[in-house]
Amino acid sequence: MSKNIPLKERIIFALDVPNVDEAKKWLDLLGDHIHFYKVGLQLFLAGWWPVVEEITGRGHKVMVDLKFFDIPETVQNAVAQLRDRGVTFATVHGNEPIIEAAVREKEDLKILAVTVLTSFDESDMRQLGLEGSIEDLVLLRAKKAVDLGCDGVVASPRETASLRKELGDNFIIVTPGIRPGINRDIEKDDQKRVASAKEAIKNGADYVVIGRPISRAEDPVATVVQIQKEIQKGLEERGL
């Protein structure tokens, strides 16, 4: 799998905003620095396809993060709706039949399987009656997804190193839970398994999904530039 990824595409900026006008403001502000954007449930429901077209029309890439989870036929039909829309990545969060249905319909679209949400930790596992570690669960789900034909996975920065060690480099890892800063404490919020962009990239991530650390920064553009420097250092330490 070729992974000649430009630095401006390594950050997938999470457009977690309530309307298309707000999304356009961020595209105007960051468009010279970031060329990849995530559209999640909130913005997709607010703007539907016009917001995706706004992003692709500017020459940027889009990750539609709807985490499809339904009966296989419904997921298959939903994935078909994403084709020929200029979407690069779409996410699926389900069992084997669901993943198989998504892969069957993807064509040029890249399907990413969500392993374990970054808001989930081992105390949550225990409440669900699950044994073992988060890392074990992520590895199990990632291996299954890749074996079933997914192009990659979404996994927290805490699991990227083990995924690369166990499964190799021939799949994409997209990593949320990123907080700026290499040598300082990392801010925590509802995402529990977090790390810096440098750590994530160094350990094997291909892309990092970042929203609030940029959108809530006093100077969002300067923050993007700082994070891209971290990413570059991570790539260099990884030998890329």
Domain boundaries, the chain: 7-238
Please enumerate in sequence order all residues whose Cβ is within 8 A of that of 59, keeping only pairs 6 or more positions apart, or say none.
35
Q: Which two tokens stand for residue 5?
A: 């990824």
Q: Whole-prediction pTM value?
A: 0.89
pLDDT per residue as tens digits for the range 137-150: 888 899 999 999 99
pLDDT per residue as tens digits for the range 25-55: 999 999 999 999 999 999 999 989 999 999 9
In whole angstroms, what separates CA 227 from the centre of its chain?
16
What is the spatial distance between Cα 95 and Cα 221, in angstroms, rounded to a whole number? 39
What is the spatial distance between Cα 102 and Cα 90, in angstroms, rounded to a whole number? 9
Secondary structure of residue 67 in the 3-state scheme: strand
Q: Which residues of 53-82 are buried (b: 16+ CB within 10 A; e: fewer)?
A: ebbbeeebbbbbbbbbeeebeebbebbeeb
CATH number for region 7-238: 3.20.20.70
Cα separations in angstroms, 69 against 93, 101, 143, 231, 239: 5, 11, 19, 32, 37
pLDDT per residue as tens digits for the range 77-132: 999 999 889 999 999 998 899 999 999 999 999 999 998 766 666 666 666 666 66
Among the listed residues 67, 110, 143, 233, the single catalytic one is 67
Secondary structure of residue 197 in the 3-state scheme: helix
DSSP-derived pairing of the beta strands 11-14 and 172-175 = unpaired
pLDDT per residue as tens digits for the range 161-209: 999 999 999 999 999 988 765 434 444 444 445 678 999 999 999 999 9
67 tagged catalytic: yes
In whole angstroms, what separates CA 48 from the centre of its chain?
19
Q: CB burial class (10 A; 0-12, 13-18, 19+) of residue 84?
A: exposed
Cα separations in angstroms, 53 against 9, 37, 82, 148: 18, 12, 12, 30
Q: What is the reported pLDDT for 177?
A: 81
Q: What is the reported pLDDT for 140?
A: 87
Q: 26: number of CA atoms within 13 Å, CB side?
A: 30
Q: What is the reported pLDDT for 156?
A: 87
Higher pLDDT: 158 or 234? It is 234
* pLDDT above 80 for 9: yes
